[in-house]
Amino acid sequence: MSNPKISDIESIIRDLSDAAPKGSAPSARRAIADVLARHDRRAGQASAAVVDIDPDRLRELALLMTESLGARIGGDGYSPIPGTDPSPSKRRIPPLDRDMTVSQAFTHIAAACVVHMLVNEAAVFSGRDPEGVHQMRVAVRRLRALVPVFGAALEESAQDYLRSELGWVRHELGAARDWDVFLSETIDPMIGRIPSDQGLRSLRTAAVAARQSAYDNAHDALTSKRYTYLTLTLYRWIHDGGWFLGGGSSAERALSRPVRKMATRVLSRRAKKTLKLGKNIRSLDEPDLHQLRISAKKLRYASEFCRSLFRRKQADRYKIVLVELQDLLGTINDVAIGSRLVVELQDKTGPDLNQAEFGRVKGLIDGWLGARAEAAMAGLAPCWTRFAKTKPFWT
C-alpha cells in the first residue's frame, strides 16, 4: 500500500474548510468550486501523479469532509472545523437487503461505521459528554469487528491494515473511556451516598486530572497524520473497493455471492465458539470470563450486522438475551478496570490524602466494586442458561 502525500491533500481541504462554512449552502458550493478550479490550474495534470488518490475521489472526499462532516486537515493532522456540533451521535447499524451481495453488504455497513466515527470527533474534542468517546469507540469497534465477518472477501493486506489501525484508534480512546466509566459508575455514585467523605472527593480530583490527561492523548491521536491517513484510506476504499479480493474469477464469485449464506456460516461459527467458552460458566476464572466476553461481543456484532437478513422476532429474542449476557460480563470487566485505576491514582493524589487515608478510601472503593462484581456473577449463570437455550435466529 503506497502512502498518499498528505501535504498535497491538506492544501485543498484547508482552502475548502475556509470556503464552505461561509454564507448559504449554494454560495458555499460556489466557493468550493472556485477553490478546486484554482488548485486545478496550479497543479495542472500533476495531481494524479503525486497523490495516490483519483482526483475525482479526492474532490468527493474534500466535499464530504467539509460540507457533511465538518472536518478539515490542517497543521499536523485532522481536526473538526470550529463550530461543528459537539453533541454525541448514536447510529444504528443499517439493515441489509436479502438480495445484497457480499461486497454490497460490506460496503453498506462499513460506510455507515466510518460516518459514525467521524461525526463523533467534535464530541471527543469537546469532552463535555462522555458519550462522545463512547460512540466513537463503538463505531471503531464495529468497523474492526466487520473485518473478520467478511474476511473471506477481503485482501489479507487490507485486513491487517484495518486491524492494526482501528485497534490503535480504539486503544488511544480507551483510557479516556475507562476514566469516564470509573467516575460515572463508581466515584460519583459513592460520593452521592457519602457526600461528606473528603477522601473520596480528593480521589475524585485526581481521577478527573487523569481523565483530562487521557483526553489530551486522544486529541493528539485524532490530530495525527496517522489518523488522517486512516480516514483518507477508509473513504477511498469505500468508493473504489480497494479492500476486496482482486485478480480472477474466484474473487469475483466470492464477492458476488448472496450475503445471507455467508452470514449463516459466520454466525454459526461464532455461536459455537461462544457456547464452548461458557460451557462451565460457574467455574470460570477472570481470564476465562474475559475471553468469553470478547467472544460474546464478536457474536453480538456479527448478529447485529446480519439480523435484518432473517426473521425479526427470532432475531430480537436472541439479541435481548445476548445483550444481557454481554452487559453482565462487561460489568465484571469494568470492576477489574476500576480496581486497576484506583492503584494508578495512589501516586497522583494530593497531600491531603496520605498513605493511611488512601488505604481507607481504596477499601471503600474495593467494597463497592466487589458488590457490583458479586451481583453480576450471581446473575451470570441463570443468564447463560437462557442464552444457551435460545434458538439461533439464523437456523
Q: Residue 167, Cβ neighbours under 10 Å: how many? A: 13
Of residues 184 and 19, more confidently modeled: 184
Is 50 exceeded by the pLDDT of residue 6?
no
Is 80 exceeded by the pLDDT of residue 30?
no
Torsion of CA 114, 118, 119, 123, to 10 degrees: 140
Distance CA 354, CA 142 (A): 43
pLDDT > 70: percent of the chain? 78
What residue type is assigned to position 29 of the chain? R
Nearest C-alpha neighbor of 217 from the set 165, 169, 164: 169
Of residues 139 and 352, more confidently modeled: 139
Average pLDDT over every residue of 255-280: 95
Is 50 exceeded by the pLDDT of residue 24?
no
Q: Are 144 and 167 in contact (CB under 8 A)?
A: yes
Q: Are 19 and 28 in contact (CB under 8 A)?
A: yes
For residue 376, what are the CA distances in angstroms to 136, 188, 209, 299, 326? 26, 20, 30, 20, 11
pLDDT band at 206 (very low <50, low <70, confident <90, very high): very high
Nearest C-alpha neighbor of 392 from the set 275, 266, 271, 269: 271
Of residues 350 and 197, more confidently modeled: 197
Q: What is residue 245's predicted lDDT score, i.e. its pLDDT? A: 85
pLDDT band at 108 (very low <50, low <70, confident <90, very high): very high
Q: What is residue 269's predicted lDDT score, i.e. its pLDDT? A: 96
Question: What is the grid cell recorded at 168?
Answer: 490503535
- When mean pLDDT is compared across 5-14, 212-221, 257-266, the lowest value belongs to 5-14
Is 80 exceeded by the pLDDT of residue 158?
yes
Instruction: Report DSSP letters for 295-343, one per residue.
Output: HHHHHHHHHHHHGGGS-HHHHHHHHHHHHHHHHHHHHHHHHHHHHHHHH
Distance CA 65, CA 80 (A): 9
Is 80 exceeded by the pLDDT of residue 175?
yes
Task: For domain 76-389, give the fold.
Answer: CHAD domain (1.40.20)
224 DSSP assignment: S
Distance CA 387, CA 267 (A): 15
- When mean pLDDT is compared across 108-117, 136-145, 162-171, the lowest value belongs to 108-117
pTM over 0.85: no
Average pLDDT over every residue of 220-248: 83
Is 50 exceeded by the pLDDT of residue 236?
yes
Question: What is the grid cell recorded at 381?
Answer: 449463570
Mean pLDDT of the chain: 83
pLDDT band at 99 (very low <50, low <70, confident <90, very high): very high
